[in-house]
Amino acid sequence: MPYFTSPVDGTRLHYVDYGPADGPVIVFVNSLYFGTEMWEYQMLPLAQEGHRCVSFDRRGHGRSDDVWGGFDLDSLADDVQGLLDHLDLSEVTLVGHSLGTAEIVRCLARHGVDRVTRVALIAGMAPGPARSANHPEGVDPDLMRAGTEVFRRDRSAFFADGAHAFFALDRPGNDLSEAYVETMIRRCHGSTARAGVALGELIAELDVAPELAALDLPVLVVHGTHDTSGPIELTGRRAARLAPNSTLEVYENAGHGLFATHADRLTADLRKFAAGG
């Protein structure tokens, strides 16, 4: 089972590396709570087609170390860079989902773009959903912190109660088996309570708008119209306006979990984008 060592504090981080070693590289950065398994409908077909598909479990997630510290955005971004450096990856298409999009943006702001050629922000939290002086339309941070308190009190109920909205299962075409949804709920428990609370608090203060506006790379923004975790007007559309060289793909009826409900479309869009389309 492969691991690399965090450049921040020596935390052991588990990663997967699928496909041919000499294939065009796509690196996937996960959502909060999930490990690499969330990308199965994208990584496996793309690897079979000849891409090198790499992803890792964030600290406190999946098979990576259970740690107390390092949940600030700078440290998380440095962990992403640590993976790129460990495998000596180049000409990377960097793909993030939800919180992973903010980790990507901060990583590139801190470490530069020498290893990366393009970026895909999937159902992203970037540039940040919270209300601030520069984003008065955002969500009240106190409401977001209240959600973190709900998580803190009973994360089992938090995951089970939130699955329906996460995948927007009430919308047409979002047909997932009950078994799949239950499996993904269980997968959320692969993240520690510490990680969930710390990152919930981070999201309530998240603001990478200036860094996103300075990102001089092709950026694909994919967002669903019915994303309740990161509402499209506060995140996806705003990200597309900020990024100088962006393309926005709006998925009608999709929720936050569009990597599953719209798996084939997302895979096709990533395939095209990674090829320079």
CA-CA-CA-CA torsion sign (199, 54, 83, 192)? positive
Q: Is 22 a catalytic residue?
A: no
Positions of E strands within the chain: 3-5, 12-18, 25-29, 52-56, 92-97, 116-122, 219-224, 246-251
Decide if 262 is catalytic: no
CB 251 within 8 A of CB 171: no
The CA-based dihedral angle spanning residues 70, 72, 75, 81, taken in that order and rounded to the nearest 10 degrees: 130
Beta-bridge partners for 190: none
Catalytic residue among 14, 51, 97, 256: 256
Residues 6+ apart with CB under 8 A from 81: 7, 107, 110, 111
The radius of gyration computed from the CA coordinates of the chain, to the nearest angstrom, equals 17
Active-site annotation holder among 98, 191, 229, 246: 98
Please provide residue 35's backbone torsions phi and psi, each rounded to the nearest 5 degrees: -105, -160
* Cβ atoms of 232 and 256 closer than 8 Å: no
Angle at CA 236, nearest 5°, toward 33 and 124? 20
Q: How far apart are the first and last CA of the chain?
A: 34
How far apart are the C-alpha atoms of 231 and 125, rounded to whole Å? 9
Closest to 270 measured CA to CA, from 92, 139, 19, 68: 92
Interior angle at CA 94, CA 89 and CA 96, nearest 5:
140
Is 98 catalytic? The answer is yes
Query: Catalytic one among 78, 79, 207, 227?
Result: 227
Q: Which residues are catalytic?
A: 98, 227, 256
